[in-house]
Amino acid sequence: MKKQHAFALSALAAVLVAGCASSPSTVDLDKLTADIVKASFTDKGIVKVAVIAPEDINTACSAADVAGKPLEANVAEALQAAQLKTIKWPADGQFMGDWKKGEALAQSGRGLTWSDKADTANGGNCYNCHQMDPKEISYGTIGPSLLGYGKTRGVVADPTSPASKAIIEYTWGKIWNAKAYNACSVMPRAGHKGIITEAQVKDLMALLLDPKSPVNQ
């Protein structure tokens, strides 16, 4: 602990000296924050500090949040284009899985915390933020309601029809990597970050789009 304090203190002193004890610049503060993060966080259980290593899109969005200004449109577009390229489309061309499995996955918010085990099955976290099956009253409001998702988009009659192609692909892409469509979305990149598998993305697709899914009743 002593070591940690000495480290942060010297970092802070450096900032204050560099800024002539007046207000330090944004660059200084960003650097100091990075140093403090390095000194303050440690590995625990299955979570390693490497998971918070800077990544261009997160760094850009965090900075925009701090500034209280959205990203410049061209910057956002470039970041989104890069994320779009990460999307893995279903190898067998089949987009739809089992809505019942999707519902179970949507219910779970487990996995990847330091109190989870390496073999804890990751949840989809869907109900934490979205309304889906109307029978589930315990839903979050951070994301939009997905009640009637397929029905309201006219996909339910025949999800495999060419007319449904655009919405099917968008939905797959959004689940796989939400940031491909909105750089600073607060939605996780469930497929891209390996939180859920390709088969599980199919199950969530079915929950949203299968005519028999409770979401579309």
Partner 1 sequence: MKKIMSLLVLGSLAMASAHAQKSAAVQSIEEYRAMLADGNPAELFEAKGEDLWKQKRGPKAASLEKCDLGQGPGVVKGVFVTLPRYFADTNKVQDLESRLLTCMDTLQGLNVAEIAKTPFGKGEQNNLTALATWIAAESRDMKFNLPQAHAQEQVAYEVGKRLFFQRGGPHDFSCASCHGADNWRIRLQDLPNLTKNPGDGVGFAAWPAYRVSNGQMWGMQQRLNDCYRQQRFPYPGFASDATVALSTYLGVNSQGSKSVAPALKR
Instruction: Give the footprint of partner 1 on this chain (CB under 8 A).
Output: 1-2, 4-5, 8-9, 12, 15-16, 21-24, 29-30, 32-33, 36-37, 39-44, 47-49, 51-53, 55, 58, 61-62, 65-66, 112-115, 125, 127-129, 137-142, 179, 186, 188-189, 193-195
The least distance separating partner 1 from the CB of residue 29, rounded to whole angstroms, comes to 5
Between 62 and 214, name the residue whose CB sits nearer to partner 1: 62
Q: Which two tokens stand for residue 199?
A: 């088969």
Q: Which two tokens stand for residue 35?
A: 């140093």
The least distance separating partner 1 from the CB of residue 157, rounded to whole angstroms, comes to 32
CA dist., res. 101 & res. 47, Å (int):
27
Quote the distance between the C-alpha of residue 63 and its chain's center: 17
DSSP 45: T
The least distance separating partner 1 from the CB of residue 112, rounded to whole angstroms, comes to 5
The least distance separating partner 1 from the CB of residue 215, rounded to whole angstroms, comes to 17
How far from 205 is each of 16, 38, 50, 200, CA to CA, in Å?
52, 39, 31, 9
CA dist., res. 103 & res. 173, Å (int):
19
Between 64 and 167, name the residue whose CB sits nearer to partner 1: 64
